[in-house]
Chains A and B, each alone.
Chain A
Amino acid sequence: MTTQITPKLISRQLSERYQQLAAGMPATAGFREAAFQKLLQQEVPSTRHEEWKYTNIRSVWKKLGESAGETTAAPSPHWQGDALKVRLAGGQVVEPAEVETANYIVCSLKKAFEKHQDKLQAYFAKHTHLQDDYFVLLNNALWSDGLFVWVKRGQTLPQTLAVFFEEGQSTLENTRHLFLLEEGAQLECAYFFTGDSPIHSLHNCITEAYLAKDASMKHYIAEAEAFHHSRVLRTFADVEQNANYYNVTFVLGGHVARHDLCAALKGTHAEAHFYGLTYLRGNAHTDHHTVVDHIAPKTQSNELYKGVYDGQSAGVFNGKIYVRPDAQQTNAFQSNRTILLTPEASINTKPQLEIWADDVKCSHGATIGQLDEDALFYLRARGIPKAQAKALLLQAFAGEVLDYVGNDSLKEYLLARLQERFS
């Protein structure tokens, strides 16, 4: 028996919500209206949808609001590093580190629509890869709040921006974030997803980041929450000449996580660096879909995604690389490496390269294996107990990604989270 989730089924609840939001933020009403009308024509994608083949988001959708029973997973401690802290709960910015100087602004997106329309108008929802699929439309129509960050030309955000998302307070959260980095601006930002509410929930989170010439953004993402929180996380970076977008994502918990990470390299020497480490247990599921669009010549991208899957957990990696006709002398590297700890764990990995330029260096590779038995025996033969030997090997495997975290305090925090899980 399959219950079709028709748009009608969701519209009663959601249309009320959408009307409230439109009324509360008049500046966004028209935009929301257009999206909502399109949304009514669409359905939550099923696994028949090419982009959702291995991730059954429909079954997640159907469970929303249901009780998850006992929550056993103890919540991870928060990162305590030196940072400008922002907290979102129930889709609202509840602890606004609202800062506004001549050099930078960090505030809620809601507020930005009142105060900084001039700055955001040209960028909000303008990313070329932001297409009208179900979750984008849902977010366009229903985003409740999020962050607005602007850094002036040549300036650097003096502290790491730490964004704590407390999920699960509402069944469905739609948050929206916009980063504007002017020429030569720099910032480091870390997203933390936490939450241990006892209901099945979904967080639909869209971030757009616009990096002007010479700008650089380091973006860390850490997910380590309870086993019934799910997430569709989309990040779109627009990278101009010499600018550098750098993302390291750790998925260490949660139920279903779908990540779409996309960088459009629009100016010469623009760079995108995507690194990911996934460690899943139980029947958790993580789907990384990446897109690097090399539009300008001499652009560079580097992707390394590593995964360790235990229990019946499952991973998906789909890496699209486009090299447009003008993007000569492009370098693009992609690698996906997986360790499956049990016969029930699985990974679906697929590189998708579309290259229209001829003078390019592109490479991609995927490896899937078990824990190295010879290495395990070697360690045990030296007296190291099996569990500890396993942890040591997994940590070594993960270390390569961890080393890409440039913030020492954050790296230490993440290492501790990994060690908790590996031992």
Chain B
Amino acid sequence: MLSIKNLKARVEEKEILKGLNLEVKPGEVHAIMGPNGSGKSTLANVLAGREDYEVTEGEVLFMGKNLLELEPEERAGEGVFLAFQYPVEIPGVTTANFLKTAVNAVRQYRGLDPLDAVQFLKLLKEKMKLVEMDSSLVNRSLNEGFSGGEKKRNEILQMAMLEPKLAILDETDSGLDIDALRIVAEGVNKLRSKDNAFIVVTHYQRLLNYIEPDYVHVLYKGRIVKSGTKELALELEERGYDWIKEEVDANASF
């Protein structure tokens, strides 16, 4: 589904991704962990098509297509979804209006008829139930004045509405209370199928108790330096990153 080979990217002359490799197959859940500033959000944003990041080397294939050639909206149409670490507040655009515009834009891209108001509301209600989101939120300006947790839940709602093939969740668990964490995780689990995949960026093992990953990767200094199964996350929780950093930094000095 997703194949990243030797990906290098920089922002403002600073190289952040330094030759990253990752293979994701349909049905899989990959967790990406790693110290602050190691490049996790950068990877997520590069995959979503943010223009501030310049890809200098490598390739990214998504369902056999060169993802890096596509506009952000085309990537969304193809089925890439990024749940932002910091969702943007957009005053003056209601969440409902935004969702309808987004859903119909994606449907158009996928060659489907647009949803009319009734169909849309039905879908919205169904998905809002999935993330147990309060209906008053969708009539407010997008993310404006939403609490941290409400913003994250709104990201999952959008994911549920847009039915992506590959969802990248960038620290969706941070800022969530214990109940919200469970709700969001359950929402994700309900959307899991043999045809879609998830990349879950997180700092905490806790989320992975709910969303069981098939693989856990450690991203450090712009590369995936260690991969393993879910036990790796437990080990990281216990030991921190120092042992990995030491390993990597020792190798780098050769």
User: Which B residues are in CB contact (< 8 Å) with A385?
Assistant: 71, 73, 105
Contact call A384/B87, Cβ cutoff below 8 A: no
Given the complex of chains A and B, what is the CA–CA distance between A389 and B102 in angstroms?
10
Contact call A388/B93, Cβ cutoff below 8 A: no
Contact call A396/B72, Cβ cutoff below 8 A: no
B48 within 8 Å of A (CB atoms): yes
Which of A372, A382, A388 contacts B76, CB < 8 Å?
Answer: A382
The A363-377 residues at the B interface (CB cut-off 8 A) are: 372, 374-375, 377
Given the complex of chains A and B, what is the CA–CA distance between A382 and B73 in angstroms?
6
Given the complex of chains A and B, what is the CA–CA distance between A378 and B154 in angstroms?
13
B187 within 8 Å of A (CB atoms): no
User: Which B residues are in CB contact (< 8 Å) with A374?
Assistant: 88
Given the complex of chains A and B, what is the CA–CA distance between A396 and B98 in angstroms?
11
Which residues of A come within 8 Å of B, CB atoms?
Answer: 372, 374-375, 377-386, 388-389, 392-393, 395-397, 399-400
Contact call A377/B92, Cβ cutoff below 8 A: no
Contact call A396/B91, Cβ cutoff below 8 A: yes
B50 within 8 Å of A (CB atoms): yes
Given the complex of chains A and B, what is the CA–CA distance between A156 and B114 in angstroms?
46
Chain B interface category by residue count: 20 to 34
Contact call A377/B72, Cβ cutoff below 8 A: yes
Contact call B93/A381, Cβ cutoff below 8 A: no
Distance in Å: Cβ of A389 to nearest Cβ of chain B: 8
A393 touching B90 in the complex, CB below 8 Å, given contacts A383-B76, A385-B105: yes
The B194-251 residues at the A interface (CB cut-off 8 A) are: none
Given the complex of chains A and B, what is the CA–CA distance between A378 and B49 in angstroms?
10
A380 touching B71 in the complex, CB below 8 Å, given contacts A385-B105, A388-B101, A392-B101: yes
Distance in Å: Cβ of A376 to nearest Cβ of chain B: 9
B42 within 8 Å of A (CB atoms): no
Given the complex of chains A and B, what is the CA–CA distance between A379 and B93 in angstroms?
11
Chain B 66-78 near chain A by CB (<8 Å), digits 1 or 0: 0000011101110
Further pairs besides A377-B88, A379-B102: 7, Cβ < 8 Å: A377-B72, A379-B90, A380-B76, A382-B102, A388-B101, A393-B93, A396-B90
Closest to B102 in A: A382
Distance in Å: Cβ of A419 to nearest Cβ of chain B: 13
A380 touching B90 in the complex, CB below 8 Å, given contacts A385-B105, A388-B101: no
B160 within 8 Å of A (CB atoms): no
User: Which B residues are in CB contact (< 8 Å) with A384?
Assistant: 73, 101-102, 105
B106 within 8 Å of A (CB atoms): yes
Distance in Å: Cβ of A223 to nearest Cβ of chain B: 23
User: Which A residues are in CB contact (< 8 Å) with B158?
Assistant: 382
Which of A372, A378, A400 contacts B84, CB < 8 Å?
Answer: A378
Contact call B109/A383, Cβ cutoff below 8 A: yes
B162 within 8 Å of A (CB atoms): yes
User: Which A residues are in CB contact (< 8 Å) with B84?
Assistant: 378, 381
Contact call B82/A381, Cβ cutoff below 8 A: yes
Given the complex of chains A and B, what is the CA–CA distance between A393 and B72 in angstroms?
17
Distance in Å: Cβ of A126 to nearest Cβ of chain B: 42
Distance in Å: Cβ of B192 to nearest Cβ of chain A: 21
User: Which B residues are in CB contact (< 8 Å) with A372?
Assistant: 88, 90
Given the complex of chains A and B, what is the CA–CA distance between A392 and B158 in angstroms?
17
Given the complex of chains A and B, what is the CA–CA distance between A392 and B75 in angstroms?
20
Given the complex of chains A and B, what is the CA–CA distance between A396 and B143 in angstroms?
14
User: Which B residues are in CB contact (< 8 Å) with A400?
Assistant: 92
Contact call B49/A381, Cβ cutoff below 8 A: yes
**10 pairs of A and B residues whose beta carbons are closest in the complex:** A396-B92, A383-B76, A383-B106, A382-B102, A380-B72, A378-B88, A383-B105, A380-B73, A396-B93, A399-B92
Distance in Å: Cβ of B150 to nearest Cβ of chain A: 16
The B104-139 residues at the A interface (CB cut-off 8 A) are: 105-106, 109
| Interface pairs (12), CB distance under 8 Å | A377-B48, A377-B88, A380-B73, A381-B75, A382-B158, A383-B73, A383-B105, A383-B106, A383-B109, A384-B102, A386-B71, A396-B92
User: Which B residues are in CB contact (< 8 Å) with A380?
Assistant: 49, 71-73, 76
Given the complex of chains A and B, what is the CA–CA distance between A385 and B88 in angstroms?
17
Given the complex of chains A and B, what is the CA–CA distance between A400 and B141 in angstroms?
12
A381 touching B109 in the complex, CB below 8 Å, given contacts A399-B92, A400-B92: no
User: Which A residues are in CB contact (< 8 Å) with B77?
Assistant: 383
